[in-house]
Structure 1
Amino acid sequence: MRVSLIFPPATDPRAPHLALPYLAAVLRRAGVATTLIDADLGGLLWLLRPEVVAHHLRRVAKAPPGRDADEIARLLRRGDRLVEDVPRALAILRDRVRFYDPHAFAFARETIQDAVQLAAGGTAVRYDLCPIRYEVAGIDEQRLPDLIAASTDPRANLFEEHWRAELLPALDRERPDLVGLSIVNRQQILPGLALAHRLKAGGHRVVIGGTVFTKFVRQLLARPELFAHFADGIVAYEGETAILALVEALRRGGDLGSVPNLLSVVDGRVRMGPTRVEDVDELPTPDFAGLPLGAYLAPEPVLPILVGKGCYFNECKFCDIPFINHVSRKPYRVRSTQRIVEDILTLNDRTGCRHFVFTDEALPPRLLERLADALEPHRDRGFSFVGYARFERGFTGEVCAKIARMGMRKIFFGLESGDQATLDHMRKGIRIADVRPVLSHCREAGILFHIFSMVGFPEETRASARTTLRFFEENADVIDHPGNTFDIHPFGLELRTGYFAEAAELGVDVPEEALAKDFVIGVRSGWSNARGLSQDEVMALVAEYGAVLRTLYARHHNTPLHLWPGFEEYAILYGDRYRNRDFPYRTSLPEDGDPRPFTIAWNPAAAVDRRDGLVRVASRTGAVTVDEPLFGLFAAPRPRRVGDVLAACAALQGEEADPAETRAAIDAMVGARLLQITLARDGPARSAPEERVSEPAIA
Structure 2
Amino acid sequence: MNKKVMLIFPPEWVPTAPYLALPSLAAVLRQNGIPTVLKDINVEAFDHYFTQNYLEFVRERIQGRLMRLMEKEQKEGLTDEERQLKEGFIQYTYVDIPHHAKKVERAKEITRGPEFYEVEKLEWALNAFREVMEFISISYYPASINFYPVESNLNVYRPWVSEDLFRAPHDRDVNIYIDLCERLVYPAIDEEQPDVIGISIGTPVQLMAGMTFAQLIRKKYPDIHVTVGGNITTRLKDEIAKKPKFFDRAFHSLVAYEGEHALVELVRALEDGRPLSDVPNLIWKDETGQVRVNDKLHTERVNELPIPDFDGMPFDKYFVPDKILPYLGTRGCYWGKCTFCDHGAGYIDQYRAKHADRIIEELKEMKEKYQAKHILFTDESFPPALFRKLPPMMIDAKLDLFWTTLIRFEESLLDPECWEMAAKSGCRSLYFGLESANERIIKLVKKDTKIDVAIKNLNEAKRVGIWSHVMGFFGFPSETQEEAEDTRRFLLDNQDIIHSVEMYFFVLYKHAPVWDMMEETKIDVQVNPEHDLALDYYYTPENGLSIPEAMQRYQQFYRDDYDPWALRVNAREHVYLYITHFGTNDLPQLYVRNHPESQTQMAPEVIL
The one-character-per-residue Cα deviations of 1:93-113 (angstroms, maximum 9, x if unpaired) are: 1012x1112222122122212
Partner of 1:495: 510
Matches within 5 A, 1:116-127: 116-123=133-140, 124-127=142-145
C-alpha separation in 1, matches of 2:573 and 2:379: 15
Percentage identity across paired residues of the two chains:
28
C-alpha separation in 2, matches of 1:78 and 1:451: 42
1:492 Cα deviation after fit: 1.4
Q: Write the letter of the residue equivalent to 1:311.
A: C
The one-character-per-residue Cα deviations of 1:426-457 (angstroms, maximum 9, x if unpaired) are: 11121112110000011111111100011111
Matches within 5 A, 1:167-316: 167-201=185-219, 202-203=221-222, 204-266=224-286, 267-273=288-294, 274-316=296-338
**TM-aligned CA distance change 1:58 to 1:521, over 3 Å:** same
Q: What is the Cα-based RMSD across aligned positions, in Å?
A: 2.6
Q: Write the letter of the residue equivalent to 1:110.
A: N
Alignment gaps of 5+ in structure 2? 67-81
Q: Matched residue of 1:128: which SS?
A: coil
C-alpha separation in 2, matches of 1:172 and 1:8: 18
1:507 paired to 2:522: yes
**TM-aligned CA distance change 1:70 to 1:410, over 3 Å:** farther
C-alpha separation in 2, matches of 1:81 and 1:570: 26
Q: 1:143 aligns with which of 139, 157, 161?
A: 161
Partner of 1:609: none
Q: Matched residue of 2:432: which SS?
A: strand
C-alpha separation in 1, matches of 2:389 and 2:325: 21
Structure scoring higher RCO (CA < 8 A, sep ≥ 6) equals 2
Q: Is the 8 A contact 2:468 2:497 kept in 1?
A: no
Q: Is the 8 A contact 1:75 1:114 kept in 2?
A: no
C-alpha separation in 2, matches of 1:130 and 1:322: 27
Moved more, 265-274 or 527-536: 527-536
C-alpha separation in 2, matches of 1:69 and 1:495: 42
Partner of 2:34: 32
TM-score of the superposition, structure 1-length normalised? 0.79
Q: 1:529 aligns with which of 541, 548, 560?
A: 541
1:357 paired to 2:359: no
The one-character-per-residue Cα deviations of 1:371-399 (angstroms, maximum 9, x if unpaired) are: 112212333x5300010000001222111
Matches within 5 A, 1:77-92: 81-92=99-110
Matches within 5 A, 1:583-622: 583=587, 585=589, 587=591
TM-score of the superposition, structure 2-length normalised? 0.90
Q: 2:571 aligns with which of 567, 572, 576?
A: 567
Matches within 5 A, 1:524-563: 526-551=538-563, 553=564, 557=565, 559=566, 562-563=567-568
1:690 Cα deviation after fit: 7.2
Q: Is the 8 A contact 1:386 1:568 kept in 2?
A: no
Moved more, 540-549 or 337-346: 540-549
1:125 Cα deviation after fit: 1.9
**TM-aligned CA distance change 1:279 to 1:75, over 3 Å:** farther
Q: Matched residue of 1:509: which SS?
A: strand
**TM-aligned CA distance change 1:259 to 1:195, over 3 Å:** same
Q: Is the 8 A contact 1:18 1:305 kept in 2?
A: yes
Partner of 1:7: 9
C-alpha separation in 2, matches of 1:210 and 1:113: 29
**Structure with larger Rg:** 1
Moved more, 114-123 or 255-264: 114-123
How many residues are aligned here? 584
Q: Write the letter of the residue equivalent to 2:318.
A: Y
Alignment gaps of 5+ in structure 1? 591-599, 601-669, 678-686, 695-699
Runs of 4+ in 1 over 6 A off after TM superposition: 67-79
The one-character-per-residue Cα deviations of 1:113-141 (angstroms, maximum 9, x if unpaired) are: 22223212142322223331232232221
Q: Write the letter of the residue equivalent to 1:494.
A: Y
C-alpha separation in 2, matches of 1:307 and 1:110: 36
Structure with more of its chain in helix, by fraction: 2
Partner of 2:458: 439
Q: Matched residue of 2:38: which SS?
A: strand
**TM-aligned CA distance change 1:77 to 1:35, over 3 Å:** closer
**TM-aligned CA distance change 1:205 to 1:455, over 3 Å:** same
The one-character-per-residue Cα deviations of 1:162-216 (angstroms, maximum 9, x if unpaired) are: 4324431331243212111101111111111111111111222111111001112
Q: Write the letter of the residue equivalent to 2:55.
A: V
**TM-aligned CA distance change 1:587 to 1:377, over 3 Å:** closer
Q: Matched residue of 1:510: which SS?
A: strand
1:10 Cα deviation after fit: 1.8
Q: Is the 8 A contact 1:43 1:159 kept in 2?
A: no
Q: Matched residue of 1:136: which SS?
A: coil
Q: Write the letter of the residue equivalent to 1:102.
A: V
Q: Is the 8 A contact 1:348 1:354 kept in 2?
A: yes
1:692 Cα deviation after fit: 5.0
